[in-house]
Amino acid sequence: MNATSTEQASAPVTEDALRGALAGERPSNPGPVLTSLTFGWRALLKIKHVPEQLVDVTMFPIMFTLMFTYLFGGALAGSTQEYLQFLLPGILVQANVMITMNTGITLNTDIQKGVFDRFRSLPVWRPSPLVGALLGDVMRYSIGSAIVITLGLILGFRPEGGAVGVVLSVVLLLVFSFCLSWLWTMLSLILRTPNSVAGVSMMVMFPLTFVSNIFVDPKTMPGWLQAAVEVNPITHLATVVRGLMHGSVPAGEIGWVLVSSVLLVAVLGPITMVLYRNKK
């Protein structure tokens, strides 16, 4: 109704106006950094217009932090306060890793809606729509991290590593999340609907985050499960974040996280670009 009334009011398309609009110049094509940032700007605009999409970076981590601290804190670590010191860095990892799934769902929606074709038909550096979307997601991860840390501080989390440790661990987490997002980007180019992307992502993410040292010390697990926890990259990431926040710098583990981040992009990036180029 609203739209119709405006259409009635709007001026008809006149040939003169059209002529003016068509006599356009032809600026030179911008470089990859600028186009990626421009696509990142689009992601931010989408957050502005559809703030509901921030539910996963706000409500979800809050819920998990509160639930785990108060449900299991006493049983697992003797007191909720003590458990919080152990849990919070882990929850931070879990929240970020979970938020990365949104990348795939968003991209798949773009493909369904046809806006993807518009972007692919532009003379820009080909990965820039994907890189830009991931840059926009880094903003989401930052929001999620800020919320978890703030909530933690309110509940009594006291990082011994101080502000520097917290900031460093968040930066590392953002790097890893950015790299992991390529997995979901790749998936969204293979699967047909946003729902199936969400389904498959959940199937991967749940075991990946729970079969790790995020919630409990693996020492109490059976041997075979400990082995699984040990090879899970999320375990290493949680160890690093926990270490940095509490003042010990596990250099070897940091290297491990950085190497796996680079590997993720090095392997998934090219596969994703081939899929992107050949997408029907």
Q: For binding to another protein (CB under 8 A), which residues are involved?
A: 2-4, 6-7, 9-15, 17-24, 26-30, 34-35, 38-39, 41-42, 45-46, 49-50, 110-118, 120-124, 192, 278, 280
Among residues 38 and 58, whose Cβ is nearest to another protein?
Answer: 38
Q: Which is nearer to another protein, 17 or 71 (CB)?
A: 17
Closest separation in Å from C-beta 34 to another protein: 8
Burial of 66-78, coded b for 16+ CB within 10 Å and e otherwise, reads eebbeeebeebbe
Q: How far is the CB of 138 from another protein (least distance, A)?
A: 19
CB of 102 to another protein, least distance (A): 14
Environment class of 65 (CB within 10 Å of its CB; exposed 0-12, middle 13-18, buried 19+) = buried
**Shortest Å distance, C-beta 205 to another protein:** 25
Which pair of structure tokens corresponds to residue 116?
A: 């993807």
Is residue 241 within 8 Å of residue 173, measured between CB atoms? yes
Q: Compare residues 47 and 168 and give the one whose CB is closer to another protein.
A: 47
Q: For residues 250 and 240, is the Cβ–Cβ distance under 8 A?
A: yes
Q: How far is the CB of 185 from another protein (least distance, A)?
A: 18
Give the C-alpha separation, 170 to 182, whole Å. 19
Q: Which is nearer to another protein, 12 or 222 (CB)?
A: 12
Alpha-carbon gap, residue 48 to 54, rounded angstroms: 10
For another protein, give the closer residue by CB, 111 or 186: 111
Give Cα separations from 273 to 29, 126, 128, 176, 189 (angstroms).
Answer: 21, 8, 11, 20, 10
Q: Two tokens at 67?
A: 């639930």
| Nearer residue to another protein within complex by CB, 12 or 252 | 12
Which CB atom, from 191 or from 268, has the smaller least distance to another protein? 191
Residue 264: Cβ within 10 Å count: 18
DSSP label at residue 157: -
- Give dist(CA 240, CA 13) in Å, integer: 60
Collapsing DSSP to helix, strand or coil, 151 comes out as helix
In the complex, least distance from residue 273 CB atom to another protein, rounded to whole angstroms: 14
Q: In whole angstroms, how close is the CB of 99 to another protein at the nearest point? A: 19
